[in-house]
Structure 1
Amino acid sequence: MQKVCVIGGSRYVGKLLVTRLRAAGHRVTVVNRGSTVPPDGIEHLMADRNDEAVLAAALGSRTFDVVVDQVCYTPVQAAIAARAFAGRTPRYVMTSTIEVYDPATAVLPAVPPGIPVPEELVDPATWPVATGLPWHDDAYRQAHYAEGKRQAEAVLARAGGFAYAGVRSAHVLGGGAQEFTGRLAHYVGRITRGAEIAVHARALPSVFIHHEELAELLLWATTAGFTGPVNACSDGPLDVYDLTAVIAERVGRQAVHRTVAAGEPASPFSFDRHYAMSNARAKALGFPFSRTTDWLPGAVAEALAAVPSPAA
């Protein structure tokens, strides 16, 4: 049994992680702004993580065996957390993203298509940090999501007050209406209606993970001893044609594709650039991944059930 603090933990993967931590016998504390009350048996601290004084006051004299940060998006947020939790925990786990590898958002070493991207492509120990940028502006933060995550990792990795581990999640699917990005529902809805789907002619594959598998990996990461980043993705990359084929089979309709040129906007999982991750490090550390094609039909069924009927 460990004392685990989850920052966020109010929806989707974070909510599922909290319930699994509790079921595993851990003492769980959730820190969020109070919009969602955690399940019974979970300590709830209401605080805005962006306000360092309020966060420190809410934490009081508490200490934890590990902190899992589900909602760190900027180096400013990371710096506040590093100061607030220094001396309170020996281990800090941040949920990061595949987007840190997107070559459209940073100058990165080229990785040939077909070669899974390893963690060392983005090293948080050496990544430059610029806390003076307008990270508090919502529009700026959303437009620079990938860079915010890269810099947040860098701040926490260098903080020195705890051991740092980062979980770089693939595109998360599953959960039906809980999947707040709506990307799988986008495809399910368009295929169901027979609407066109914009795709690149030479669409490159990406990697995915089921929301329950990601919650299980984060649960594993709370007690695992690794440090630094690990990639989290199910086995078996898919391109947009593979993805829509699985959806079309489950929906019982043909997918209608409209080809766009490289560099032009397309549907959410049509990529004209390569950054499909390798999960070899997490496997070597002991985490077993499922295959994407094993859980994807079920995730499609959940999304289909959540799509409003034409008469609605």
Structure 2
Amino acid sequence: MQRICVIGGSRYFGKLLVQRSLEAGHRVTVVNRGSAPPPPGAEHLVVDRDDEAALTAALGGRTFDVVVDQVCYTPVQAAIAVRVFRDRTARYVMTSTIEVYDPATVAPAPATPGVPVAEERVDPAGWRVRLDLPWHDPAYLEAHYAEGKRQAEAVFTREGPFAFASVRSAHVLGGGDQEFTGRLAHYVERVGRGEEIAVHREEQPSVFIHYAELAGLLAWAATGTGFTGPLNACSDGLLDVTGLTAVVAAASGVLPVHRTVAPGEQAGPFSFDRFYAMSNRRAKELGFAFSRTADWLPAVAAEAVAASAAPAS
């Protein structure tokens, strides 16, 4: 039994992480702003993680074996967490993102087309941190999502007194109506209505992960291994939008209609004109076994098609 603190954890794969941790016999404390209650059995602390004094007071004398941070988006939030949890935990796991590799927002050594990128391509140990940028501005944060994640990783890596690991998640699918990004629903609806799907002329594939698999990997990262540093999390197999919509079409019985966008024109979600699909080799070498996207995607697409067809309540 371990004492686990989950920051966030009120929905989607974070909620599933809490459920699975409780089922495994761990003591779980969920810290969030109270938007949704945690699963039964978890302790719930309602507090804004951006308010350092309030967070410190809410935690009181609690200590943990590991903290899993689902909602750290900026270096300012990371710096607060370092100070608050300095003497409260031995291990800290942050949920990060594939977007840290996006060449549209960062300029490390260019990726080799067709060769999935490894963790060292973006090394947080040497990444520049700017705490003075307007991270509190929602519009700025949305426009600089990937950079906020990179700088947050950098703060934890360089300043955290605990063992730190970041899980760089691929694009997450599954979970039916819990899939709050709406990106799969975008394609389900357009395919179902026979509307055009905007794609790049030379689509570059990406990587994906099922929400339940990501919850399992986070639980494994928290309690099943002591690795540190960044870790890519993605199911096996590359996939582009044409392949994705083909699976949606098979579930809906309607053929997709694709339209190639002009240079500079925005395409649909998951359509990329640049390659930065991740390699999951490090996680496999550490002992985690991934599924194949092609194995679980048809069921996810069928679930999304059924949800789209269901009458509104």
Match in the other structure for 2:257: 256
Runs of 4 or more, structure 1, over 6 Å off, are none
Q: What is the identity, as a one-letter code, of the residue corresponding to 1:242?
A: G
Counterpart CA distance in 2 for 1:266 and 1:53 is 44
After TM superposition, list the pairs within 5 Å mapping 1:9-24 onto structure 2: 9-24=9-24
Q: Does 1:184 align with 2:223?
A: no
- Mapping of residues 126-275 of structure 1, within 5 Å: 126-223=126-223, 224-275=225-276
Distance in 1, matches of 2:309 and 2:243, equals 25
Residue 8, structure 1, aligned to residue 5, structure 2: no
Task: Look up the match of 1:294.
Answer: 295
Q: Secondary structure at the match of 1:125?
A: helix
TM superposition shift of 1:308: 4.6
Q: Distance in 2 between matches of 1:310 and 1:75?
A: 43
SS at match of 1:248: helix
Other structure's SS at 1:31 match: strand
Deviation by residue 1:162-187 (Cα, 9 ceiling, x = unmatched): 01000000000001110000001111
Residue 113 of structure 1: SS of its match in structure 2?
A: coil
Would the alpha carbon gap of residues 177 and 92 (structure 1) be closer, same or farther in structure 2, given more than 3 Å must change? same
- Whichever residue aligns with residue 214 of structure 1, its letter is L
Distance in 2 of aligned mates of 1:65 and 1:247: 42
Structure 2 counterpart of 1:37, one-letter code: P
> What SS does the aligned partner of 2:125 have?
coil
Aligned residue type for 1:30:
V
Q: Distance in 1 between matches of 2:11 and 2:308?
A: 20
In structure 2, what is the equivalent of residue 303 of structure 1? 304
> Are the equivalent residues in 2 in contact too, given 1:176–1:305 (CA < 8 A)?
no
C-alpha separation in 2, matches of 1:231 and 1:51: 30
Alpha-carbon deviations, 1:104-146, whole Å to 9, x = none? Answer: 0111210111001000010011111001000000010011000
AA aligned opposite 2:285: A
Amino acid at match of 1:258: R
Q: Please give the TM-score of this superposition, normalised by the length of structure 1.
A: 0.98
Percentage of identical aligned residues: 72
TM-score, normalization by structure 2: 0.98
Q: Output the amino acid matched with 1:248.
A: A
- Structure 1 residue runs of 5 or longer lacking an equivalent are none
Counterpart of 1:34 in structure 2 is 34
Q: Secondary structure at the match of 2:124?
A: coil
Alignment gaps of 5+ in structure 2: none
Contact residue 168 and residue 229 of structure 1 kept, 8 A: yes
CA-to-aligned-CA distance 1:1-30 (integer Å, 9 cap, x gap): 100000000000110100000001110000
Q: How many residues align?
A: 312
Query: Structure 1: which amino acid aligns with 2:91?
Result: R
CA drift of 1:310 comes to 8.5
Distance 1:221 1:311, change over 3 A: closer
Counterpart-to-counterpart distance in 2, 1:139 and 1:157: 26
Superposition CA RMSD, Å = 1.2
Q: In the alignment, which residue of structure 2 is the partner of 1:70?
A: 70
Note if contact 1:263-1:272 (Cα within 8 Å) is conserved in structure 2: no
